[in-house]
């Protein structure tokens, strides 16, 4: 299944392939997670997709170096890496991501750590 990997540390969005049958295992491995959180998104042209992140991502990072991202349509900044998958609301199943890396990048604001002296 086609997905997009968001890496705020590298300021990148890249296409990846994950297993359709065992996608939760793939997400946990790719995000170095044991507790996933899902954020559903419906963009302006009606396409549905989800952003998956490590629910404990913020707690696993050094506050001095934590990298986050904000995504249009999501009400909270997300810590660590994220994975975008397509979602079909008619059958409640995931599917290939319906957007390109360029479309995702244009909807993301990367948040980098700042230094306060």
Is 117 within the bounds of a domain? Answer: no
Is 41 within the bounds of a domain? Answer: yes
pLDDT tens readout for residues 99-111: 999 999 999 999 8
- Percent of the chain scored above 90 by pLDDT? 57
* pTM score over 0.75: yes
C-alpha dist (Å) from residue 70 to 33, 38, 87, 115? 20, 14, 20, 20
- Mean pLDDT, the chain, rounded, equals 88
Is 116 within the bounds of a domain? Answer: no
Q: Please give the residue range of the domain that contains residue 48.
A: 2-111
Is 87 within the bounds of a domain? Answer: yes
Tally of domains within the chain: 1
């Amino acid at each position: 299944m086609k997905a997009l990997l968001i890496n705020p540390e590298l300021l990148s969005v890249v296409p990846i392939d994950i297993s359709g049958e065992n996608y939760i295992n793939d997400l946990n491995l790719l995000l170095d997670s044991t507790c996933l959180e899902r954020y559903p998104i419906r963009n302006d042209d009606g396409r549905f997709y989800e952003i998956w992140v490590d629910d404990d991502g913020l707690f696993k990072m050094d506050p001095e170096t934590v990298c986050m991202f904000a995504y249009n349509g999501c009400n909270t900044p997300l810590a660590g890496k994220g994975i975008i998958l397509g979602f079909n609301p008619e059958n409640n199943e995931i599917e290939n991501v319906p957007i390109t890396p360029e479309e995702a990048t244009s909807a993301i604001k990367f948040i980098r750590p700042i230094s306060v002296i």
